[in-house]
Structure formats: C-alpha cells, structure tokens
Structure 1
Amino acid sequence: MQMKKSSLCVAMSAVLGAFVCAPAMAAGAATAWAVTATRAHELAATATAADLADAATPVHIEVVLKVQNRSTLDDFIASAHNPSSPMFHATLQPADAVAMFSPSDDQVQAVVAYLGKAGFTNISVSSNKLLVSADGNAGAAQSAFATRLVKAQDAEGRAAYANIDDVKVPAALGDSVLAVVGLQTVNHAHTMIKPADRIGTKATTGVTGHNPTTFPTIYNVGSTPTAATVTVGIISDGDMTQPLKDLTSFTTANGLPAVNTQVVVVGAAGTDTSGTPEWDLDSQNIVGMSGGVSKLIFYAANSLSNSALTAAFNRAVSDNQAKVINVSLGECETSAYNDGSMAADDQIFALGVSQGQTFSISTGDSGSNECTKAPRGTTPSYPASSPYVVAVSGTTLSTGTGNSWAGETLWSKAGGSPSTVEPKPSWQTQGGGTTRDVADVAFDADPNSGSIIIVNGSNAQYGGTSLSAPLFAATWARMLAGHSTLGFAGPHLYQVPSSVYHDVTSGSNGGETATAGWDYASGFGSAIVSNLYSNL
C-alpha cells in the first residue's frame, strides 16, 4: 500500500500520536562540545605521541546526521507489520521518508558550513540529507572533531589510521550529528567467500558443487513465480567490469536471458578487482536461484571501508529501486559499534524497512565469534546483527538423485550468536535475553557443497555465507513477485509454520550448536521455497 505524502502524514499522526511532517528545528548556538556515537579506537590504549599521523594524511569522512522523530519511525515500522493496525503493509516512498525523518535544510547547511570552515573540501550531501561527505586531512579532523589520529595498519597489512579520542562536534551541531564515520580505517568489512578445494564432488556422499541454476530444484521452488518483476541490489566495491562479463558468460552458458544490469558508483569510482569472485558469486546465484530478475543493480562502493559502505547502504535506500539488497560482507560488531558505523547504518536500514526493503546479510565465516580467533566466544558479525536486516547463516548441503534435497547440517564456520549490543526486534520471538539473536535462516554455504560459477571466464567453486545470503535474497525476491505488499522479510520469517523450513539439527560453529527448532547457529534452517510462498 503506497500513500501520498499528505495523506500519509495525517494517517501516521492519527495512528502513532505524533505530528511527524513538520521540519526539524535547527540546532542552537555552540557553547561547548557534544559527543557523538564515534568512540576512540582500541589503539588508544597503546598509542604514543610518536604514533601520531602526519597532519597532511588524507582523510575521507561521512558526517552522519540523525534521523528525526526516530521513535515515530520505529512505531511506523511496528505498525506496518501488525495485522491489526490500520497501517498494516504501509510503506514509505523516499520523499515521504525525507519529509518525515530527515534533518532540516538548516541543520544540513550548518554541518556543511562547519566542514568548509574547518578546511574540508569536496563536500556533498546525500539526497535524503543523512550523509555529508567530505575530504580533508588528519589535521583538519583533529581540529574539527577534537580527536587525534594515529598511524596504523589494517588486518591485510595496508597503511591505515585511527582516532584515539572520542569524536565530538560543537554543541550547536549536537542535535544534528550522530557520528563521523571514516576517522579509522583499521577495522573494516570483508567478504564472506571461501573457495572449495576442488570443483565437483567431495569424498562425502551427496556433498558436491552445484550450478546456481540447480538451487531452485534443490530448495523446491515448485510453482513459485520467478523474480522477473523484482529489482535486486548487490552491495559491492571497486570495478564491476569483470563481474558483468562473467555474468554474461554465465547466462549464455546456461541458456538464460541476458540480465538487465546497472552499476551505481557510490562516491569516487574504485579500481579494486580483488572482489570479483564475490560479486560473481552474488550475482550468478541471485539470477540462478530467482529464475531471473527485473534488474540487478550493483551499488559499487569506493572500498570496503566503513565510510564507503555507509554511503553505499544509504544510496540503495535513498534510491529505493531494489526491494531486496544482498550484502555478503561483515566485520566484528564491536568494531562497528565503536566507530559509529553501527549507529549510522542501523538508521539507514530502518528507513529501508519503512520503504519495504530487505537487506539479506551474511552471518560470517568465522563461527560464533567474528571478533577474535581465540579464545572462541560469541560475538556476531555486523551488519548481520542489525535488528533491521535478515541474517543468513550457512549449511553443508547434501543432495540426491536429480538435485533433490537430501539433508543439511550446520557448516562449522557459519556465523551465529547473540549480539552484545543490538536490541532484539519485536518480531524476533525466538532466542533469549534482550539482544538481537543471529541467525534468522540458513542456506548452503560449505565450499564443498558450494556453487560452481564463472570467475574471470573460467569455472570455479565457492561457498561461505557469501553464498547463503544471495540464495535467501533470491528466495525473498520470488516471494515479492507474488506477494508485492509483504515488505521487509524479517517478521514474516518468524510467523510462518515450522513446515516451511528444513530444520538443521546437528553441527556446531564453535560457540553455538544446531538443535531442533530455531537456534543461534542456523536460525530456523533453510526454506522450502514453495511452502514459504504458500504460507505468506
């Protein structure tokens, strides 16, 4: 149900008890510093003066402005998924979201002016006014945000930097600015893809690689419609030239129609090609599992830095073209929490939910603990732990004659564990405690039972939860093709009967164990697609 802005404002005000369509008030005069959601990096504990970054070190930032009327946004989301509410199945258009929840022009311009005065350049504002992008240096950052930057390296040994003080803004901007993302590049997202040892069958009976076109049979789509009317997005980074070539080779080799594709470059165009296998895995399995999509949009970030991905997430939401967006990426949720990207991305995902969008997120390939190798613990990957996304874990898939489903056990490296910081969404009725429980569902992820795709023109076999997430994304795109008003997938997955799922009852990821019914390691298990469709 789409509603015009004027009628939607009146309806929401009546149902939710708040007037949400008036512009937000501008912040007052600066009198002191105000804290943001961007905290000091963990390197602060050991940093010395000798570690300080040169003042001329280039820095790119995303100043994240606060969604206005945040409680009303969450109330709207709850009402839109409540069958007894008059707002049931209501969704917003981007213009509605801007009118009701974006900061005011005065607030945005105050941030722009402040950055310019501080020496930042290339300042731009996102269409929904939530992000102000800018280029500067470590010296400008220290002056503008009362934080020092130190030299560092990321996990891959590349030069990086990190802020060692909590990030602040003048009090006049305190009611407007949520976080400043980009003041650390030590911690960032990574892909969740794993190569198989060989292409084809492993010694284990029934565990073999699969052409993406066989997954609809394996997961029993039956008469479920294809996703031919649904646009699907992929969050990616770098140069998409080769993934597009490989996608064409895949469709040609399998006698499939050419895919209508679009590349949306977010920020400065990236040149990285190391992610080609990942974007191949995502795109070819979305096309194979969905039976075809209306359009496949690659939202190509400049890098996998948190600031670049925040901008890519926001572009996918502000565009509101893709109703399902795949994200085969993640990082330790503690890192995302500390640098402010969790706070930033959560409000972006929430706006996506209000527009009926679903982000399908890999839970990770590090077992129950995305944050450290040892000792093993139970801290999940972000953004899988966000309460505004669907978290997809992974299995080892066994098949029989004619690509029939024969069984699934938990893949030992699949992520899944309770969040340490994210609140439990109201729709999540399983698990314990008050924090978000990961995962929601699971699909094939073991590289040995993974997907045989075309990478750089040749066959290759890959798995990881980078496979399970696009399999769910394609599945939900099929659901939307026949049930266009469903909107965000999360609540529906918890309301359907258990007969919808292949329950995963064995296997461990180090800290969590698959058991009968819902569990952290595998969620509800994998979907029997035709059963899911008939129960929505």
Structure 2
Amino acid sequence: MRRSHLRIALAALAAAALAVVSPDLAAGAADTGWAPTATDALSLVGATALGSAPASTPLRLTVGLTPRDRAGLDALIKAQSTPGDAAYEQYLTPAQFTDRFAATQAQADAVRSYLQSAGMTNVTVAGNRLQVTADATVAQAQQAFHTTIGRFTQSGRTVLANTAAAQVPTSLAGTVTGVLGLSTLGATVRPQAASLPKLTGFYPDEFPTVYDAKATKAGDGTSLAVIAEGDLTQTVKDLRTYEAKRKLRQVPVSLVYTGIKSTDTAGADEWDLDTQTSTGAAPSTKQLYVYVATSLTNSDLARSINRFVSDDKAQAGSASLGECDVLPFLDGSMTVDDIAFAEAAVQGQTFFASSGDTGSACAVAPTNGVPGAGLPDTEYPASSPYVVGVGGTTLATTDADAYTAEVAWNAGGGGVSPVETPGYWQSGVVPTSAAGLRGVPDVAFDADPTTGALITVDGADEQIGGTSLSSPLALGLWTRLNSSHGGKLGFASPKLYGIYAQAQTTQPLPPTTVPASFHDVVVGTNGAYTALPGYDFTTGLGSWDVNKLNSAIK
C-alpha cells in the first residue's frame, strides 16, 4: 500500500465527495509508548456533530493481525497459477496457510491479552489468526487505542466515527494492522429495480443459455457462498419458491452467522438476488453457504469475509455490496480484508464483488444508477487485487435467449483505484498496470435493470438489475467452469488475464486481439470512460462465452 504517497490526494477526494477527509495523524503522535495502525482519523463532511459518543455505547471490534512473509504469499499465488511450476494448482489448506503466513500464536495471544486487560469481553482469536474480535464500550476502545469517538448525524442517520487515529502500545507495533468498529460507517447494497412494470428480463437459470454455458457442468461437486446481512428467513423461502417455479433442484443452504443475529430485513431483495442468481446459474452446486453479518459496518463485514476464507468450504463467493475506496483505505478495513482475500486466493478460492452502480464516480449519498454522482473513485472490495471486480452491461439476445451483443451499462462502476495496486496478471492488459494502478472492473455481465433478472421477492417476480446482479451471475458461471475442471481452477484472475494476454502475444495484428472466449464490449460509456476494443474501464475484459472459455482454460 502506498499510504504515504496518497494521503493528501485522498483527503481532497474525500472532502469533495462528502465522505471522509484527511486523517489527523498529529493527534497523539508526539506521545511516547504508542504506535500507529492503518486506522486513521475520520472527519465527516456534511454532518452535524452531536458531541462525544456516550462512554457506555457498545462496540463490536475487529482487530486485524499482520501476516508473515507477505511477499512470499504473493509469490505463491503466482506460482500456483503458472503451468509447469511445482506449485501449480497446489492450493493450501487453512491450516497450512496459518502455519506458514498468519501471525504467530504468541502475537495473537498478546493482542488477546491486551484487549482483555482493557476490560473487553468475548475476545476471540480467529482460527486463521488474522483477526481478534471483541465486544467493548466506547470508553474501553478510546483508552485501549488512544483515540476519541464522536457521534454525528449525516444523511438522515446517526453514526459514530473515530476522530483520532487508532494506535496501539509499542509492544504491539507491527502486530496490529487496523482496528475496525470504531466507526459505524460501512458498505451499502444496491439492487436496481426496473422502472417499468413489464417483466422482460431473464430468470437466473436462463443465463447459462445466454452466455453459452449449457455444455458445462452445472456446479456438480462444488460449493459457493454469498455474503449477506440480517434476517434471511424470507430469502430461503423465496429461493425455494423460485426453484419450484422453475422446476430446479433444491440447493442445500447453510446459514453461517458470523455475529449476533439481526432482525433487519432491509436488504431482503438483495439477498434474494444473490442466492437465486448464483444457484440458478449453477443449479447442481453441492451447497450454498450464506455468511450472515450482523450489520454492514466494516467491522462486521470483515468477520464474515474472514469466516468464508477460514472455513474454506466454498470454492467461490460473492458480495453485491461496496463503498468508495477512500473509506476502507482510511479506516483500515482495506488492509485487514485484503489479507483475508489473499488467503482465499492461495487456498484456491475466488471472490467476486460488484463494481458499483454510479459509473466512473463514487458518491456517499444513495445515488445508485446515477452515473457521475460524485468524484472519480472505484469501490471496495471490487478494487481489491485479490477480488474479481464485476462491472455491468446492457444485454441483447434473440427470442431464444441466444447471445447477440452487450453494451456498457451507463451506471456500471469502473475506473482506476487511487489506493489499490494491481496483481501481476493485469500487466500488459490493463493500461494503468505499468504505473502500479489497479484497474476496475475485471469482467462484466448483464446489469441494466431493463434487461435484468426475474427474481422471486416475497413470493412474487420482480425484475432487478445493477452490478448486484452481475456479481452473483459471474459467481454462478465460474462455478460451472470450476465444476467442469474438477474444482481445481483456483483463483480466477490469473487464468482469465493469462488467456487474454496470450492472445495479444500469439496473434497477428490488430494489436488488440480478443480471445474467442470473451465478448468484447466496444459500445457505451459509464461517465469518464468509454468501451473500447480490448480491456477498458467500463467492462474490463468483457463477458464470457463460457463453453469457449472452458476449452481455453488449461
């Protein structure tokens, strides 16, 4: 992470976007006995300060632990994706990852003891030793991390935010990456309902026909996962209604709660979209795991992401949620979650995430589907180099659901991350990779609400789009590919970019040669960026002809 080089630019970006502004690292910097973490101070713009947060306010904290040999971890991810290498497709188990790369037991125990000494309860070290979670009060957190926490109203809601950077005792310097949960800010979900009442979209089980996936296995022997939040009771009922209506097998569902069970049902249509789209595209999948967070705060989401990784039960997962890169960069969750996603990659797991629904811009206000509603920025976790960022298209087919064309959806998220660096696989394909800048998205699928999916919500069909659709669709189609290769494909990005890059070096002119396994989207714009031949910041590499991609993957 290039934190020292990017801090000033991020401060300006955040202030103008009504998000968070520059961290005040001067607070406490002169004090002895304290060491910095990746969790900076947050100062909300467009918010009304209500004073200090009450001392007894409960918090759910997630403390990130620094892994060992990060360079070795990245080198192993590359080796696992390089045909001919001894490590090719030899993925680690969670236990092997923990023994080789996680924080040591002594380091984890030191953090646990420190939190317990501060009076915190339910202090637990994650099985992969990448996190320590705890319940605390505002007073305990402020003292333990040498910070202050304020209370604000912003955009009609009351939030907490740490107004000073989080620090740890020097004895823990280099052990703690970030402290999540000092702020109640976090991700949002963004399903887009069609504006017209007429239902003209596709049932999820029709997408394999559209994207030429019918000749591949339908997920046999593999499992997939989605990240959700709140009460999933109706979601499971809607999945069963959809399956019965479409005469599909009932996919076994496991709800894995990663915190306190919540009664929130505000995101029900989102979770319906995620579960029905992913399993509809891969109806023979062995198991659907739903990792259910208590809330969409970054602290709670980090627990769900890490549980998906440390369980290692699903070969692929998806999250149809996100937030402007600047917030997870400043609050430390980007640092914490990137480590978990890197573990997923080295274990042979692939994680997909929506690139956002505000085009090339990213705004704090809920302006989904309105391109340009904010300053240029990409969304996390789609911007993580260890995640496959999925953008959006407008899909055209014949009456028989045969693929005709795609146009870049005008609200599909994409651009250049101001903070994340690219994986080696983007080299030679993404224009900004030579400058060390991560390009988003990686791929794109149907997202326009007017060509979206027909999803069962509260027992009735509703047409829904957005990159909330394209991400679980990519998950379902990748599950088919992985199933067809005996579950050994591992992390998708190196293979996808490898096939794309190979076409550039082995084919004659024109200089941008797109493999037959990809649909090159060359029409449309998402604001600042236009669809062009080859990779672009609207649809990435494009969408897949799944059957041809299945043949191209070695």
Answer yes or no: same fold by TM over 0.5.
Answer: yes
Equivalent residues of 1:334, 1:371 under 8 A apart: no
Query: Per-residue CA shift, 1:291-319, capped at 9, x if unaligned?
Result: 33110000001011100000000000000
Report if aligned partners of 1:231, 1:322 keep a CA contact under 8 Å in 2. Answer: yes
Contact preservation (8 Å) 2:415, 2:537: yes
Give 3-state SS (helix, strand or coil) of 2:64's partner.
Answer: strand
Shift of 1:110: 1.4
Judge conservation of contact 2:60–2:300 (CA < 8 Å) in 1.
no
Matched, 1:277 2:294: no
SS of the equivalent of 1:499 reads coil
Q: CA deviation at 1:141?
A: 1.3
Letter in 2 for 1:487: G
Seen in structure 2, the aligned counterparts of structure 1 residues 53 and 408 have a Cα distance that, compared at 3 Å, is same
The answer as to whether partners of 1:192 and 1:362 remain within 8 angstroms in 2 is: no
CA distance in 1, matches of 2:385, 2:146: 31
Q: Supply the distance in 2 between the matched residues of 1:154 and 1:480 (Cα, whole angstroms).
A: 44
1:445 is aligned to: 447
What is aligned with 1:93? Answer: 93
Matches within 5 A, 1:167-186: 167-185=166-184
Counterpart mapping for 1:22-33 below 5 A: 32-33=33-34
Using the TM superposition, give the Cα deviation of residue 60 of structure 1 relative to its aligned residue in structure 2, in angstroms: 1.4
TM-aligned CA distance change 1:180 to 1:292, over 3 Å: same
How big is the shift at 1:372? 5.4
Deviation of the 1:514 alpha carbon: 0.8
Deviation at 1:378, TM superposition (A): 2.3
* CA–CA distance in structure 2, aligned partners of residues 60 and 447 of structure 1: 36
Cα contact 1:38–1:181 (8 A) shared by 2: yes
2:437 matches 1:435: yes
Q: Aligned partners of 1:239, 1:225: CA distance in 2, in Å?
A: 32
Q: Tell me which residue corresponds to 2:474.
A: 472
Residue of structure 2 equivalent to 1:411: 409
Asked if 2 retains the 8 angstrom alpha-carbon contact of 1:43 and 1:164, the reply is: no
Q: 2:495 aligns with which of 485, 492, 495?
A: 492
Q: Alpha-carbon deviations, 1:449-501, whole Å to 9, x = none? A: 00011101111110000100011101111111122322000011112252111
The unaligned stretches of length 5 or more in structure 1 are 1-29, 202-207
* SS, match of residue 425 in structure 2: coil
Out of 218, 228, 239, the residue aligned to residue 231 of structure 2 is: 239
The answer on whether the counterparts of 1:380 and 1:418 sit within 8 Å (CA) in structure 2 is yes
Displacement of 1:512 in angstroms is 1.2
User: In 2, distance between residues paired with 1:45 and 1:58?
Assistant: 25
471, 493, 506: which one aligns with 2:523: 506
Q: Taking structure 1 as reference, are residues 46 and 527 closer, same or farther at Cα in structure 2, changes over 3 Å only?
A: closer
Residue identity in the other structure for 2:34: W
Q: CA deviation at 1:354?
A: 0.4
2:332 counterpart of 1:340: yes
The answer as to whether partners of 1:333 and 1:379 remain within 8 angstroms in 2 is: yes
Q: How does 1:194-273 map to 2 (within 5 A)?
A: 194-200=192-198, 208-273=200-265
For residues 91 and 127 of structure 2, what CA distance do their matches in structure 1 show? 19
- Residue 166 of structure 1 corresponds to which residue in structure 2? 165
Asked whether the 8 Å contact 2:150–2:160 carries over to 1, the reply is yes
Preserved CA contact (<8 Å) 1:237 1:275: yes
Residue 345 of structure 2 is matched in structure 1 by 353
Aligned residues: 498
1:394 pairs with one of 392, 400, 408 = 392
How far apart, in 2, do the equivalents of 1:395 and 1:68 lie? 40
CA distance in structure 1 between the partners assigned to 2:80 and 2:279 by the alignment: 29
Q: Does 1:286 align with 2:284?
A: no
What is the CA deviation profile of residues 99-130 of structure 1, one whole-angstrom value per residue up to 9, with x for unaligned ones? 11122222112111211221211212211121
- Give the deviation of 1:31 after TM superposition: 6.9
Verify the 8 A CA contact 2:361 2:373 in the aligned structure 1. Answer: no
SS of the counterpart of 1:402? coil
Secondary structure at 2:161 match in 1: strand
Unaligned runs of 5+ in 2: 1-30, 366-371, 504-514
In the alignment, residue 93 of structure 1 is paired with which amino acid?
T
Q: Which amino acid aligns with 2:168?
A: V
The percent identity for this pair of structures is: 40
1:431 deviates by 2.2
Change (3 A) 1:158 1:74: same
Work out the CA distance in 2 between the residues paired with 1:200 and 1:409: 21
Amino acid aligned to 1:146: H
Residue identity opposite 1:445 in structure 2: A
Q: Over aligned residues, Cα RMSD in angstroms?
A: 1.8
Deviation at 1:41, TM superposition (A): 0.5
Provide the rounded CA distance (Å) in 2 between the counterparts of 1:348 and 1:446.
31
CA deviations on 1:187-210 (whole Å, 9 max, x unpaired) are 310113111123445xxxxxx311
CA contact (8 A) 1:331 1:382 kept: yes
User: For the Cα contact (< 8 Å) 1:385–1:438, is it kept in 2?
Assistant: yes
Q: Deviations over 1:212-245 (max 9, x none)?
A: 1211111111411110211000000111111100
